[in-house]
Amino acid sequence: MKHLIQISTMFLLAFVISTVTNAKTQVVKLVTEYHENPIGIDIKTPRLSWQLISDEDNIMQTAYEIRAAGSIKNLSKKSKQLWLTGKVESDKSVNINYEGAALKSMERVYWQVRVWDNNKKASDWSEPAFWEMGILETASWTASWITMPNEKEYDGSSRPAQYYRNEFDAAKKIKSARIYATSLGLFELFLNGEKVGDQLFTPGWTSYNKRLQYQVYDVTSMIQKNNAIGAIVGDGWYRGNIGFRGQHSYYGDKLALLIQIKIEYTDGSSETIVSNKNWKVSNGPILESDIYNGELYDSRLEMDGWNKTGFDDGNWQNVAEVNHSKDILVAPQGVPVKAIEEISAIELITTPKGETVLDMGQNMVGWIRVKIKGNKGDTIRMKFAEVLDKEGNFYTANLRAAKVTNTYIKKSDGVEIYEPHFTFHGFRFVMLEGLAEAPNLGDVTGIVIHSEMKPTGTFSCSNPLINQLQHNIQWGQKGNFLDVPTDCPQRDERLGWTGDAQAFSMTAAYNFDVSAFYTKWMKDFVADQLPNGKVQHVIPDVLNGDGGATGWADAVAIIPWTVYRIYGDKRILEENYSAITKWVKYMETRAGDDFLWTGDPHFGDWLAFASTSSSYPGATTEKDLIATAYYCYTTNLTSKIAKILGKTSDAEKYKKLAKSIKKAFADEFITPNGRLVSHTQTAYALALSFGLMPDDLVEKAAGYIAADVEKFKHLTTGFLGTPLLCSTLSNIGRDDLAFMLLNRKEYPSWLYPVTQGATTIWERWDGQKPDGTFQNVGMNSFNHYAYGAIGEWLYSYVAGINIDIKNPGYKHILLNPHFGGELDYVSANFQSMFGEIKSDWKLTDGEFVYTVEVPANTTATVTLPSVKLKNVKVNSVLNSKKLSGGKQLGNAVIFEIGSGSYSFSYSVE
């Protein structure tokens, strides 16, 4: 029976052509180091990128010209330019190194680019973009670190936040003004009573004693003739509770502040205002602020006008200057944490215990803004939880030692509005205590916070449960990507676990732009790596050097490799190459002459399916097998990286080492009949995905993993096996099993939590059991993204958006969709560095519909399964022209296409 398969599309333009130019190709979306118009960078050779848009098909850049200057008007004046490339014959439009005049501290540089396309048309110059340098030399920091003297000793509770202030004049007309600020602890900054910037949890979390970020703010419009500068500093990660070992003050015991204000006047003069001994400090209404435990805020202690001019600070203390290094100060490369969205409560619940609980409808990360009614002196407590228990009562046992409570004391008899400062919570439910009357739903607003990553990917399909799974994956990422990729956002942990991050890294990069986020985080791998090459379990390291676990420490190589693949970023490989090779050397030392990494403690296939039923067994994969597999994989990956970087001898060295490890693995862990000593899905997924099986035993191993899945009809994998499972099954030609696992709704599966009402990914397959009871309270997060790594397979295999590693960063795109699982349609897009990529397919009543879009300055290979070339028709959507070409490869047809929107149609048996 033949089905007509039409691959068509709606006429969608992914751009708007300007009406003020005749050029059909335009240059848009200029970025510097992955940021639009960044202020305060310290990269002396910043990289520039742009995109092209056109109303024509098959547009490629053939040349570009960049010009840069200190002002917009000087861009067109050759004598004033900092850089003019001239016409450069190149199709490169991503990460072009600046090669102009040496850059100076606090210098702003404007730049433009124009291009020539393959139709020999020149674009107009782009709209100007800019970047601004931060402080490049330590000597340029003239401010002093200041702190509160005679602070009370730590007594087990968080100490009060510190309030700093000073006043200054700016009598002349302002040309520009910048604040450069950082702290030991977290800070909020104010100028003339107004909050400066919208960033949260500044200066961010880094390996504070080695790398401390500062922020730069453009405050030109905020400066007045008479000014007051104020700051609040709280414990944060620096000296608050951190980790699950009861640690406090891990980085230091004293909070401190460093502020430098640079004002330039229109008459050419300038002035610098700095933090010094002339500043004042006091405590205020924030009596406790802790990331895990929450905030205690007594509004009766508010000091009206403390951050404005004319405030009487006679009762405040003089600050003390403190000797703390400025050599460690760095400009931020990541993306700031911000309040991204607001959500409303959906239900007010009175639990069987009589608790007043609000359901936000979504497991989120942040806090609530609440309107509080009552009397002066009333104490209102806000407690946070992810779930309700079996009986419908508020449940916090899984939060372990974290108190997750915000407490507010009213200052008046009127309505007051409160939200905290230096704490965040992972929650869906909020319990309110101490209210004079029951709240209205409108009294509470959920403030969702995370690093301000731009969404880049969407995936949807005809199965609403899978759509909810995708929703859960993305919300799990949002909630845990808060300056570092944490494992969970709610209990007394919230650490940058490396294994979780590497397993999820490709899915993360499909969902959001993580280029700058990962670039920043990798700096702390280098900072915290031990001299012997050991990479810690968590980055930044707060576990006192604990590390060296296979599959976790390998993140030092895997995440830079992900960034290279997704963004074509070669520099991240260069910057981390030494750390990567040190880690390989550490593994080499641990393995010894037999090339087998055995005997060391590891996490293994963490939280793999386990069962106490003899008829429903779990799966335990030998840790030595996993360790040796990753030893080979990362060594082989290091060889590839060395080759890309032009390190030929290193590439050969690591290739040879990987070959020896592979042979040792086969001798130790594979029987002559292709069976692994650990007969588990994870073991076979690792061996097949990492290329560890001898060629003549691949088919045998494929049969074993398929038989295991067929036998149990469910997955048995943990954190390391799960990301590889469906892709392994697909690669051995068993899409039927991969889709079966995807669609399974019973425990254990991806959709089981969805059927239980999950709105984020769970740490365990059965965090909440079918009878409503919970897993072990010691480790049962309901917002833990690791198992969300299935997202990579959804984007790359089901939707078919893939990377050509020979042309990374989607310069050349591989579009190869796969159908199955009773899905009627799949729609996916990805915002690459070149523009939007789309891959959609639809099957209705025997009619199949497929849409592709390819951005300008890229090409794509489209692979159509189960078809003969003679039956395929191809049309360009933009100009309605029929296209020819294509070649038969087995049962598939391959087309090479340029940019544009295309439709394909064909009939298949």
Which pLDDT score, from 0 to 100, does residue 868 have?
83
Q: So which residues are the catalytic ones?
A: 493, 763
What is the sign, positive or negative, of the torsion defined by CA atoms of 362, 357, 387, 371?
A: positive
Q: Which of 393, 423, 397, 394 is closest to 408 using CA atoms? A: 423
Tokens representing 636 are 């082989």
What's the rounded Cα separation, in Å, for the pair 163 and 146? 12
What's the rounded Cα separation, in Å, for the pair 864 and 890? 11
Q: Please, which residues have CB within 8 angstroms of residue 909's CB and are 6 or more apart in sequence? A: 1, 2, 866
As a whole number of angstroms, the longest Cα–Cα distance in the chain is 91
User: Are the beta carbons of 489 and 479 closer than 8 angstroms?
Assistant: yes
**DSSP 8-state class, residue 149:** T
Tokens representing 838 are 């789309």
Q: Which of 216, 209, 256, 258 is closest to 233 using CA atoms? A: 256
Which pLDDT score, from 0 to 100, does residue 18 have?
35
Q: What are phi and psi of 391, to 5 degrees?
A: -85, -5
What is the sign, positive or negative, of the torsion defined by CA atoms of 520, 524, 529, 534?
A: negative
**DSSP 8-state class, residue 481:** E
Omega prior to 748 cis, within 30 of 0: yes
Which pLDDT score, from 0 to 100, does residue 880 have?
61
Question: How many angstroms from the chain centroid is the CA of residue 420?
Answer: 24
> Could you tell me the pTM of the whole model?
0.96
Q: What's the average pLDDT block by block, 10 residues per block, for the chain (909 residues)?
A: 36 32 80 98 98 95 98 97 98 98 98 97 97 98 97 88 98 96 98 98 98 98 98 98 91 97 97 98 98 98 98 98 97 97 98 98 98 97 98 97 97 97 98 94 97 98 98 98 98 97 98 98 98 98 96 98 98 98 98 95 92 62 98 98 98 98 98 97 98 98 98 96 98 98 97 98 95 94 98 98 98 95 96 98 80 97 87 75 81 93 77
CB atoms within 10 A of CB 392: 15
Residue 906: Cβ-neighbour burial (10 angstroms; 0-12, 13-18, 19+): buried
User: Are the beta carbons of 291 and 236 closer than 8 angstroms?
Assistant: yes
What's the rounded Cα separation, in Å, for the pair 237 and 109? 34
User: Are the beta carbons of 557 and 505 closer than 8 angstroms?
Assistant: no
Omega prior to 865 cis, within 30 of 0: no
**DSSP 8-state class, residue 442:** G
Residue 15: Cβ-neighbour burial (10 angstroms; 0-12, 13-18, 19+): middle
Which pLDDT score, from 0 to 100, does residue 594 have?
97
Alpha-carbon dihedral angle through residues 650, 656, 662, 663, given to the nearest 10 degrees: -160
